[in-house]
Homo-oligomer: A and B are copies of this chain.
Amino acid sequence: VNLIGFDIGGANTKAAYIATRNGCVEQTVTASEYFPIWKHPEKLAATLKRLTRKVAMAKHLDLVAVTMTAELADAYETKREGVNRILTQVENAFPSTRILVVDVDAKLRAIEEARREPSKVAAANWAATGWLAAQLECDCVVVDVGSTTTSIIPIKNGAIAAEGKNDLEKLILGELVYTGSLRTNVAATVNVIPTAKGLTRISSELFAQSADVQLILGNISQTDYTVETPDGNGKTRAAALARLARVVCADTEMLNEAEIVHIAQYVYEAQVKQIAEALAQVCNRLKNKPNDLTVVVTGLGRNFLAHKAALQAGFAEVVDLGELVGGDVARVSTAFAVALMGASYLEGGVIRWTR
């Protein structure tokens, strides 16, 4: 079967096309587009069509499967409104293709059902990713670090053991950490920063984001920096250094490069610590010791954030999804999972997907 899985985030829309035959994935093509939905919610359909041309070319599609987190975007008054408006855009993009929507129980629902119970399909991205990882490891914890947020998904006896059924519950339980590889405001990550002159308070503006930190530290390349810069300037290291200096109300005349790199390192470690703490919280609830469990890392930040956090939380065994399916697929593993869920639904059985 041929189908596309979409992961419609607030800032990035990700697509994975897969072609399967006899229970095996024969082809995978993925793409991701920076699409800040709060700016132009009505242009989502066009974005989906553009991504489709990229990943599926003109091939016939048996199904379009969707998950979303974009309903939280402040273009929508409530999640109910967000889910419904997003589903309308999906229908506009695919008027004659069957559409299914992932729910928080990792099942696929018809679009009318999804509209009736929007809280069941809002922010169900983790359910798709968890469903995928459960096929890999019966007992593990998934750490999926995207551009904006981190999902931590416990898997027990081959089933998702997450307790939070919505974002608020997940923020409390440690299953969602609102920190990511690219879009996280540095001012929301740390309260103070140690500098040569002393511990300094910081500006509360959006002067620099995690992409600047990761670029300065060499964790991402300029081509990985797929989102807008906070000041509209370039994605060079020099521009990132200027942005980060501004966080302590300084500039590149007041602070030298080493001093700004020091700030980047501090912010980076704060991100790692946030993820490690949430991972420990989830692990405690499962009553598992870190060395009983494997951590499966995925998403753009799977190495420099997820893997590092897993080690900090005391886990010894870490599986990188990128080594199983390739880095490009691992970056959009939720969209890939959604596609696989669709293929499994259509073929009526498990689909083999690791290389």
Give the B-binding residues of A (Cβ under 8 A): 38, 72, 74-75, 77-80, 123, 148, 166-172, 174, 176-179, 184-185, 187-189, 191, 195, 197-207, 230-233, 242-243, 246, 248-255, 278
Q: Which residues of B contact A250 (CB under 8 A)?
A: 166-168
A184-B148 Cα distance, complex, nearest whole Å: 20
- A contact patch SS: loop
Decide: A207 and B74 in contact? CB cutoff 8 A.
Answer: yes
Q: Which residues of B contact A200 (CB under 8 A)?
A: 168, 171-172
Decide: B172 and A199 in contact? CB cutoff 8 A.
Answer: yes
Q: Which of B74, B169, B184, B232 contacts A204 (CB 8 A)?
A: B184
Q: Nearest residue in B to A208 (C-beta to C-beta)? A: B74
A79-B174 Cα distance, complex, nearest whole Å: 40
Q: Which residues of B contact A203 (CB under 8 A)?
A: 72, 178
Decide: B75 and A231 in contact? CB cutoff 8 A.
Answer: yes
Min CB gap A315→B, angstroms: 21
A249-B73 Cα distance, complex, nearest whole Å: 9
30 contacts between A and B (CB under 8 A): A38-B231, A74-B230, A74-B243, A74-B246, A75-B231, A77-B251, A78-B252, A78-B253, A79-B251, A79-B253, A79-B254, A123-B249, A166-B250, A168-B249, A170-B249, A171-B249, A172-B195, A172-B197, A172-B199, A174-B201, A176-B249, A177-B201, A178-B202, A178-B203, A178-B204, A185-B185, A185-B204, A188-B188, A188-B202, A189-B204
